[in-house]
A = this chain, B = another copy of it.
């Protein structure tokens, strides 16, 4: 995950601003903990309002932060004046999302002018122990003329 071309040196500011404007991220209490060229990390502490019927994180919450981690990872490598949209993604839920914390790590696998392919992995941290619980493969689209369109 090195050697990416970074057309906008102020990518971190741009990504953090966009994240801050997503009502849902604030609402559920998610933090954008890492913003690097081609890589983003989002952390989310547990709350009952994020649960399915067994008290684990709901799959929709897992997918929400996976989608955002991958999308913002793609956004780090885009020019300053564009937006980015999720075209599609595929998510495997590989273990119960049980614990006090979720960590989603999104990484660009194949950057492109129009389309960027990313992958994300989500980890559930239970009693301090980190366990992979989801894998995503995603396609993001760069939108010119409409800055800051994520998610």
Residues of A in contact (CB 8 Å), total: 49
Q: Chain B residues near A34: list those with CB within 8 A.
A: none
**Interface CB pairs A-B, < 8 A, 21:** A21-B52, A23-B48, A23-B52, A24-B52, A52-B150, A53-B148, A53-B151, A59-B67, A60-B64, A60-B68, A60-B151, A87-B87, A88-B90, A88-B91, A88-B93, A88-B139, A91-B91, A110-B135, A117-B135, A119-B135, A139-B139
CB distance from A87 to the nearest CB of B (A): 6
Count this chain's copies in the assembly: 4
Contact of A51 among B23, B54, B135 (CB under 8 A): B23
Q: Is A80 an interface residue (CB 8 A)?
A: no
Q: Chain B residues near A64: list those with CB within 8 A.
A: 58-61, 63-64
Mark interface residues in A1-33 (1 if CB within 8 Å of B CB, else 0).
Answer: 000000000000000001001111001000000
Interchain CA distance A68-B64 in the complex, whole Å: 14
CB distance from A48 to the nearest CB of B (A): 5
Q: Chain B residues near A139: list those with CB within 8 A.
A: 87-88, 92, 139
